[in-house]
Structure 1
Amino acid sequence: MPLKKNTSLHNGDTQLLILFKAHFGGFLNLARIRLICHFITALCKIKSVNYSKLSAGFDTQVNALSNYGRIQRFMSGAALPMEWVAKLIFALLPQKGALVLVMDRTNWKFGQSNINI
């Protein structure tokens, strides 16, 4: 699939970005927070984990090839502790109190390496 430029005219802060800035602002810089928000939004629109497809689904005026590189750099170098993710999920739940979070996992092969998430 050839990469193309996204033609979205949206350039303001979304509710997702405002929420993530409030939650992760002390841990991640704004560029990484924006990338996570673009990534989540593209996952919902594209319904694929293919980086090439996702990069074309970002709501930016940036060339999809640049977005593709951003995704690769983030995935290869960024660490997002599960404790932060769990705290965000629990903060978003309407019911407070004793709850148990159960998350499914997946296994990918990257060359000879198993990546279990």
Structure 2
Amino acid sequence: MLSKHFRWNKSRVELLGMIILSLFKIQNVQIPKIAEGIISDAKQDSVIKRIYRFFKDQLIDAVEVAALVVDILSLDKYLLVIDRTNWEFGKQSIISSDFI
């Protein structure tokens, strides 16, 4: 199902799937904890580095994620709720009020 929505190479799609499954199992968003939930013959440090590289290098399109969620939930009708919070990272505005 992931490869239907994300046009990435196979190893990237598989890693995303492993990350998602680990999130359900571990219920923690810290990358070292996510790595613990991934079944792999690789050393824990290698899995952690792989996850960091994935998030550093892979662009994740919000439209593709939304399409995946709608597909998974098999929704015919849905309500979009937007949080109007202005997000900032230090002094850098991530989402400006002009966007909303």
TM bracket (short chain): 0.7 to 0.9
TM-superposed CA distance for 1:92, in Å, is 2.1
TM-superposed CA distance for 1:77, in Å, is 1.8
Residue 88 of structure 1 aligns with an amino acid whose one-letter code is: L
TM-superposed CA distance for 1:22, in Å, is 2.6
RMSD, aligned CA: 2.7
2:98 matched residue in structure 1? none
Matches within 5 A, 1:52-91: 52-91=32-71
TM-superposed CA distance for 1:43, in Å, is 1.0
Relative contact order, CA 8 A, sep 6+: which one is greater?
1
Of the three residues 48, 56, 78, the one matched with 2:28 is 48
Paired with 1:55 and 1:108, the residues of 2 have a C-alpha distance of 28
TM-superposed CA distance for 1:103, in Å, is 6.6
Are 2:16 and 1:36 aligned?
Answer: yes
Paired with 1:61 and 1:99, the residues of 2 have a C-alpha distance of 41
Superposition TM-score, scaled by structure 2 size: 0.74
What per-residue deviation string (whole Å, max 9, x for no partner) do you get for residues 20-58 of structure 1?
A: 12332xx21111101111111111111111111111210
Paired with 1:65 and 1:115, the residues of 2 have a C-alpha distance of 33
Superposition TM-score, scaled by structure 1 size: 0.65
Secondary structure (helix, strand or coil) at the match of 1:79 reads: coil
**Alpha-carbon spacing, 1:23–1:108, altered in 2? closer, same or farther (3 Å):** same
2:2 matched residue in structure 1? 20
Q: How many residues align?
A: 93
**Alpha-carbon spacing, 1:95–1:57, altered in 2? closer, same or farther (3 Å):** closer
Residue 21 of structure 1 aligns with an amino acid whose one-letter code is: S
Paired with 1:108 and 1:67, the residues of 2 have a C-alpha distance of 30
Paired-residue identity, %? 27
